Amino acid sequence: MKRSKGLCILAAVLAALGGCLGQAEQCTGAVQKRIDCHPQPGASQEACEARGCTWCATDVANAPWCFFSEDSPYGYSLGGNTELTAKGWRVMLNKRHTLSLFGNDISPVVLEVEFQTRDRLRFRLYDPNSQRFEVPLHIDSPGVAADEANYEAELAEGSSHFRIKRKSTGTVLWNSPLVDLFFSNQYLQITTAVPSTSVYGFGEQEHQSFKHSMDFITYALCPKLYHQREVPLVNLYGVHPFYMCVEADSNAHGVLLLNSNAQDVSLSPDPSVTFRTIGGILDFYVFLGPTPENVVQQYTEAIGRPHMPAYWSLGFHLSRWGYGSIDVLKETVNRMHYYDIPYDVQHLDIDYMERHMDFTYDKVNYAGLPEYVQKLKRKGMHNVVILDPFITKDEEPGTYRPYDLGEEMGVWVNNSDGVTPAVGKAWPPGDSVFPDYTNPRTAEWWTQMCLEFKDVLDYDGIWIDMNEPSNFLTGQYPGCAVNNLNNPPYVPSISDHSLAQKTLCPDSKTYLGEHYNTHSLFGWSQTAPTFHAAQQATGKRAFVLSRSTFVGSGKHGGHWLGDNFSQWKDMHRSIIGILEFNLFGIPYIGADICGFNYNTTYELCLRWMQLGSFYPFSRNHNAEGNKEQDPAVFGAEFAKISRATLRIRYSLLPYLYTLFYESHVHGNTVARSLMHEFTSDQETHGIDTAFLWGPAFMIAPVLQEGARSVDVYFPEATWFDYYTGHKVPSTWKKNYATVAAPLNKIPLFIRGGYILPEQAPASTTTKSRLNPFGLIIALDEHGEASGSLFWDDGDSIDTIENENYFLAKYTYSKGNLKTEILKNGYRGADTLKYNKITILGLKQRPHAVTLNGRTIRGNAFSYELSRKLTLWISAPLTQELNIRIY
Ligand SMILES: *[C@@H]1O[C@H](CO)[C@@H](O)[C@H](O)[C@H]1NC(C)=O
Ligand SMILES: *[C@@H]1O[C@H](CO)[C@@H](O)[C@H](O)[C@H]1NC(C)=O
Ligand SMILES: CC(=O)N[C@H]1CO[C@H](CO)[C@@H](O)[C@@H]1O
């Protein structure tokens, strides 16, 4: 329900003046319990009462004025006995009354519960009499109910509520009144109480905080393109109907609604969550945790673990839309090299193409591009090309093979007739058709095109943009027909309340079904074929960067947060987005450093380079027409600071790469919030201005113009200043401390108890990978620490599956560092060495140090007053180390 604030206040005043709305007696009941009964615009008392709901003004911001009453004439009730199944149980539900909110109600519906694993429960509400659309994401589950599940699922309160409990604590994780359930052909709604207001996740929208506001906030989930325009909370490129909730006792659980229809979700202060979707079924998965990391591990176990990124892709990336010519590109690259700024990857945005056509390059403005790319590759760099999911149909027949072949193979999204291609307008000249990647034939065509293009212009990775899919029109030509799919009775609160705006008509036909059901899957369905095509074309580990994502996209691709703006608040929000995509199982994530739209400023860009140096995916990218913003364009001082910060990134890449290994194998997050590690400290729940790499490395960037210090919260742990090795004063613990951050510095801290592998940095990872390794051993209060290192050749396919890797585990205890080699399957590690061991937090100056039993000479170690010991050694990586400190 939307109305202007003015009207809202006026009505609230009138209501206060003695119930002139005549509803005073119905205004009892806590406002925070209200569930919107008129979620579409245009609510009025008349419309509200006509649907059997209560109308009552309130001055509580965003609270619905039209809401379901206690005796709401809606919902379902038990329609039979609970029937046991191999995997759990099932029960029939019948509609309680004949009144309908949006027509075509379905009754009976089945509520079916599957005890999939000890920590994963699935429950579904579906129509037993007709097959409705279901997301084709395969989630493995055993054929029988899990033993000793950590949850209970039951019908409670006289079978009026569906409830899920955590067995160990009795906490109710899910509690849905059946009277609040709607299941009609094009409107499905369910509400659940959540056990706390520490709720995270849902995407993709731009969020103002990582921990959600529960003040009647509604987010729409439906992939759309936005440009040059800011609409708060608007639905953006991807769809992730997943949230995590931290319970009062710090246990955490996660919930996925596996549904790809346009939908929205409302968070209310009760606290409760209401899901509304306009198709498919209600297919929920609940993950029991109990730690936030466990939740993400269990979630990615179900939807697919994140892919293992190539090592080079963890280097710094540079991009811009609108270099305009190869000369400008070369000048940019040259100045990056002039200042020796670490830099691995150059991206080519749409202006490299001939007239914006996929699989071509501009032979005039980018004459010599293939040769230039080879030159960069010889320097150890890599390049990524953009491809868009629209193909012009208006070139001379026989002159543009991508269209001709695709047309011959019938790979386009079709109109509702199922045989003529949907034609829209996008970047290429003339009009365009849209490849339907849900069709296996399209994957064949796409792979063929990618393979052929590799011979024209070499590339190491593919960036897939505009795959919401974006279209510059509202629907394809000649506009969308009036029918149920194009004009559903309820349109979720998406931008302009139009499903077809800037995309295709919902009644378009894709291989998997109507675009109405598959719209959210477009980018997702393009990601796996592009991954396989890139892998085939390069013979190496695939790099795919996708703008549109869905549940499970992380298995084949990474993501960037889209077309942000060069503004300080966008810089802050990028941290939120990065933390959220780590929850979504897409840890390869970053935002456009320095901002995409608008001109950046020196200070903003500098601070953003510092923060962006610690994005899992670190890329500076800019839009056409804006001032240049690569880190070499602002002069020597800026370049020097960017270089220094990126060199810190590069030196810690072995640690970051090991985190990605953990993510790929166990499903851990890479960048994580303080809340993940210090869940029982309530203060961490709301922190999104600082974040961690894994458990051990804290990044606390400057996010305000003019600031020369940062207020950093230090949870209970030992912390060391990364730069000096000084232990953070104990008075700072469980407190905010003001930490100096002059323009040339981003505050960084290491957590005691951890060992971080490092490697001397270089101008590319190709070079740095050959450098000696070090270990930073940050001791905790007991003088202990542990860590690990994963290493392989960095870009071969399936090195983990093929056991072609090196894995070492480090433990430090009682003055003794030991490495244990768990896997020694990568021969390339044989020539690598450790040359530096740093120990932070020693109690006293050591009087002797031995390495594998032999004394290290005094000039090979130094001890600083900060209690930091540095040892210079030369020891092979593939031999076990034993260092003793006396
Ligand atoms: C689209 O139409 C073409 C014929 O133009 C046909 O070959 C193809 O199978 C159709 N695809 C879908 C998903 O309807
Ligand atoms: C950004 O800078 C460019 C180049 O200096 C200038 O042409 C353009 O007008 C600026 N844009 C804005 C929005 O100020
Ligand atoms: C419209 C848009 O894409 N906004 C993005 C701008 O950048 C922030 C972070 O930098 C993202 O969170 C937004 O989604």
Ligand 1 pocket residues where CB is under 6 Å? 410, 414, 418-419, 436, 439, 509-511
Instruction: Give the ligand at the shortest distance from the Cα of 421.
Output: 1
Residues 299/274, Cβ–Cβ less than 8 Å: no
- Output the residue whose Cα is nearest ligand 1's atom 4: 419
Instruction: Give the ligand at the shortest distance from the Cα of 514.
Output: 1
Residue 846 Cα distances to 711, 863, 868, angstroms: 34, 8, 11
pLDDT at 154 over 50: yes
- Output the residue whose Cα is nearest ligand 1's atom 1: 419
Is the domain of 132 the same as that of 223?
yes
Is the domain of 50 the same as that of 194?
no
- The mean pLDDT of 810-823, rounded to a whole number, is 98
CA of 135 to the centre of ligand 1 (A): 21
- The mean pLDDT of 133-159, rounded to a whole number, is 96
Question: At CA 13, angle to CA 11 and CA 17, rounded to 5?
Answer: 115
* Dihedral sign computed on CA atoms, order 726, 731, 735, 737: negative
Please work out whether the CB of residue 548 comes within 6 Å of at least one atom of ligand 3.
Answer: no
The per-residue pLDDT for range 389-403, each reduced to its tens digit, is 999 999 999 999 999
In a domain, 769, yes or no: yes
The per-residue pLDDT for range 677-708, each reduced to its tens digit, is 999 999 999 999 999 999 999 999 999 999 99
Q: Please tell me the number of Cα atoms within 13 Å of 276 on its side-chain side.
A: 24
Ligand 3 binding pocket mutation candidate from 208, 561, 689 (most atoms within 8 A of CB): 561
Question: Which amino acid does the sequence have at 495?
Answer: S
Tokens of 298: 């269990």
Neighbours of 151 (CB within 10 A): 22
Closest Cα partner for 778 from 879, 658, 690, 652?
652
Distance of CA 470 to the CA centre of its chain: 20
Average pLDDT, the chain: 95
Instruction: Give the ligand at the shortest distance from the Cα of 595.
Output: 3
Please work out whether the CB of residue 633 comes within 6 Å of at least one atom of ligand 2.
Answer: no
Please work out whether the CB of residue 597 comes within 6 Å of at least one atom of ligand 2.
Answer: no
CA of 272 to the centre of ligand 2 (A): 46
CA distance linking residue 541 with residue 795, whole number of Å: 5
List, in sequence order, every residue forming a beta bridge with 316; answer none if it has no partner: 618
- The mean pLDDT of 604-608, rounded to a whole number, is 98
Instruction: Give the ligand at the shortest distance from the Cα of 599.
Output: 2
pLDDT for the residue numbered 865: 86
Is the domain of 369 the same as that of 239?
no
Instruction: Give the ligand at the shortest distance from the Cα of 437.
Output: 1
Is the domain of 16 the same as that of 90?
no
Contacts made by residues 71-74, CB under 8 angstroms, sequence distance 24+ = 72/37, 72/179, 72/180, 73/97, 73/99, 74/99, 74/101, 74/179, 74/180, 74/182
Q: What is the DSSP letter of 53?
A: -
Is the domain of 813 the same as that of 737?
yes
Question: Which amino acid does the sequence have at 596?
Answer: F
In a domain, 456, yes or no: yes
pLDDT for the residue numbered 583: 98
Ligand 3 binding pocket mutation candidate from 224, 470, 573 (most atoms within 8 A of CB): 573
pLDDT for the residue numbered 14: 42
pLDDT at 42 over 80: yes
CA of 870 to the centre of ligand 3 (A): 42
- The mean pLDDT of 352-361, rounded to a whole number, is 98
Q: Tokens 């034609």 appear where?
A: 423
Q: What are phi and psi of 829, to 5 degrees?
A: -80, -15
Residues 172/193, Cβ–Cβ less than 8 Å: yes
Q: Are strands 785-791 and 849-851 parallel, antiparallel or unpaired?
A: unpaired
pLDDT for the residue numbered 3: 38
Please work out whether the CB of residue 458 comes within 6 Å of at least one atom of ligand 3.
Answer: no
| Confidence at 28, pLDDT banded by 50, 70, 90 | confident
Is the domain of 101 the same as that of 204?
yes
In a domain, 313, yes or no: no
Total residues belonging to the chain: 886
CA of 444 to the centre of ligand 1 (A): 15
Residues 38/64, Cβ–Cβ less than 8 Å: yes
pLDDT at 646 over 90: yes
Closest Cα partner for 299 from 151, 134, 435, 121?
121
CA distance linking residue 808 with residue 773, whole number of Å: 13
- Output the residue whose Cα is nearest ligand 1's atom 8: 410
Closest Cα partner for 561 from 540, 543, 551, 547?
547
Domain that holds residue 438: 344-600+618-626
Is the domain of 240 the same as that of 137?
yes
Residues 6+ apart with CB under 8 A from 872: 835, 836, 860, 861
Tokens of 645: 């910060």
CA of 45 to the centre of ligand 3 (A): 37
CA distance linking residue 577 with residue 200, whole number of Å: 11
Q: What is the CATH number of the domain that holds 93?
A: 2.60.40.1760
Please work out whether the CB of residue 207 comes within 6 Å of at least one atom of ligand 3.
Answer: no
Higher pLDDT, 28 or 199: 199
Tokens of 865: 């007053």
CA of 510 to the centre of ligand 1 (A): 8
CA of 875 to the centre of ligand 3 (A): 46
pLDDT at 2 over 50: no
- Output the residue whose Cα is nearest ligand 2's atom 4: 627
Q: Which atom of ligand 2 is nearest to the CA of 599?
A: 1
pLDDT at 566 over 50: yes
Q: What is the CATH number of the domain that holds 13?
A: 4.10.110.10
Closest Cα partner for 764 from 343, 185, 235, 395?
343
CA of 627 to the centre of ligand 2 (A): 6
Q: Which atom of ligand 1 is nearest to the CA of 511?
A: 13
- The mean pLDDT of 506-531, rounded to a whole number, is 98
pLDDT at 210 over 80: yes
pLDDT for the residue numbered 107: 98
Distance of CA 441 to the CA centre of its chain: 29
Ligand 3 binding pocket mutation candidate from 226, 234, 564 (most atoms within 8 A of CB): 564
Q: At what angle do helices 440-456 and 401-409 cross, to 10 degrees?
A: 160
The per-residue pLDDT for range 664-677, each reduced to its tens digit, is 999 999 999 999 99
CA distance linking residue 596 with residue 564, whole number of Å: 5
Question: Which amino acid does the sequence have at 164?
Answer: I
| Confidence at 231, pLDDT banded by 50, 70, 90 | confident
CA of 760 to the centre of ligand 3 (A): 33
pLDDT at 779 over 50: yes
Q: Please tell me the number of Cα atoms within 13 Å of 364 on its side-chain side.
A: 3
CA of 562 to the centre of ligand 3 (A): 6
CA of 130 to the centre of ligand 1 (A): 25
Residue 224 Cα distances to 262, 500, 523, 578, 725, angstroms: 11, 10, 11, 19, 46
Ligand 3 binding pocket mutation candidate from 574, 575, 589 (most atoms within 8 A of CB): 574
Q: Are strands 54-55 and 66-67 parallel, antiparallel or unpaired?
A: antiparallel
- Output the residue whose Cα is nearest ligand 2's atom 13: 598
Please work out whether the CB of residue 570 comes within 6 Å of at least one atom of ligand 3.
Answer: yes
Q: Which atom of ligand 3 is nearest to the CA of 230?
A: 1
Structural domain tally of the chain? 4
> Counting beta carbons within 10 angstroms of the beta carbon of residue 69, is it exposed (0 to 12), middle (13 to 18) or buried (19 or more)?
middle
Closest Cα partner for 187 from 277, 251, 265, 121?
277
Q: Tokens 């206060």 appear where?
A: 16
In a domain, 632, yes or no: no
Residue 532 Cα distances to 378, 402, 443, angstroms: 25, 18, 9
In a domain, 336, yes or no: no
Tokens of 258: 């596996």
- Output the residue whose Cα is nearest ligand 1's atom 13: 511
Distance of CA 694 to the CA centre of its chain: 16
Element (H, E) at 165: strand 161-166
In a domain, 738, yes or no: yes
pLDDT for the residue numbered 75: 96
- The mean pLDDT of 177-205, rounded to a whole number, is 97
Rg of the chain over CA atoms, in angstroms? 28
Q: What is the CATH number of the domain that holds 507?
A: 3.20.20.80
Is the domain of 725 the same as that of 793?
yes
Is the domain of 62 the same as that of 86?
no
In a domain, 289, yes or no: yes
Tokens of 876: 């092979």
pLDDT for the residue numbered 548: 98
Q: Tokens 């059946």 appear where?
A: 178
Q: What are phi and psi of 870, to 5 degrees?
A: -115, 125
- The fraction of the chain above a pLDDT of 70, given in percent, is 96
Please work out whether the CB of residue 599 comes within 6 Å of at least one atom of ligand 2.
Answer: yes
In a domain, 338, yes or no: no
CA of 607 to the centre of ligand 2 (A): 21
CA distance linking residue 755 with residue 186, whole number of Å: 54
| Confidence at 70, pLDDT banded by 50, 70, 90 | confident
Q: Which atom of ligand 1 is nearest to the CA of 438?
A: 13
- Output the residue whose Cα is nearest ligand 2's atom 14: 599
Is the domain of 56 the same as that of 85?
no
Q: Which atom of ligand 3 is nearest to the CA of 573?
A: 9
| Confidence at 230, pLDDT banded by 50, 70, 90 | low
Instruction: Give the ligand at the shortest distance from the Cα of 322.
Output: 2
Closest Cα partner for 602 from 558, 554, 634, 571?
634
CA distance linking residue 692 with residue 67, whole number of Å: 42
CA of 855 to the centre of ligand 3 (A): 55
pLDDT at 23 over 80: no
Closest Cα partner for 287 from 259, 265, 256?
256
CA distance linking residue 392 with residue 210, whole number of Å: 40
CA of 565 to the centre of ligand 3 (A): 7
Please work out whether the CB of residue 746 comes within 6 Å of at least one atom of ligand 3.
Answer: no
Residues 313/614, Cβ–Cβ less than 8 Å: no
Instruction: Give the ligand at the shortest distance from the Cα of 612.
Output: 3
DSSP state letters, 841-880:
--SS--S-EEETTEEPPGGGEEEETTTEEEEEEEEETTS-
| Confidence at 226, pLDDT banded by 50, 70, 90 | low
- Output the residue whose Cα is nearest ligand 3's atom 7: 564
CA of 198 to the centre of ligand 2 (A): 42
Is the domain of 51 the same as that of 85?
no
- The mean pLDDT of 747-769, rounded to a whole number, is 98
Q: Please, what is the end-to-end C-alpha distance for the chain in angstroms?
A: 70
Tokens of 825: 């399957």
Please work out whether the CB of residue 627 comes within 6 Å of at least one atom of ligand 2.
Answer: yes
pLDDT at 753 over 60: yes
Tokens of 347: 């991206």
Please work out whether the CB of residue 577 comes within 6 Å of at least one atom of ligand 3.
Answer: yes
pLDDT at 534 over 60: yes
DSSP E strand stretches across 452-610: 461-464, 509-510, 513-514, 544-546, 559-560, 589-590, 592-593
The per-residue pLDDT for range 271-289, each reduced to its tens digit, is 999 999 999 999 999 999 9
Residues 62/1, Cβ–Cβ less than 8 Å: no
- Output the residue whose Cα is nearest ligand 1's atom 6: 410
Q: What is the CATH number of the domain that holds 748?
A: 2.60.40.1180
Is the domain of 246 the same as that of 264?
yes
pLDDT at 344 over 50: yes
Q: Which atom of ligand 2 is nearest to the CA of 598?
A: 13
3-state DSSP assignment of residue 245: strand
Please work out whether the CB of residue 579 comes within 6 Å of at least one atom of ligand 3.
Answer: no
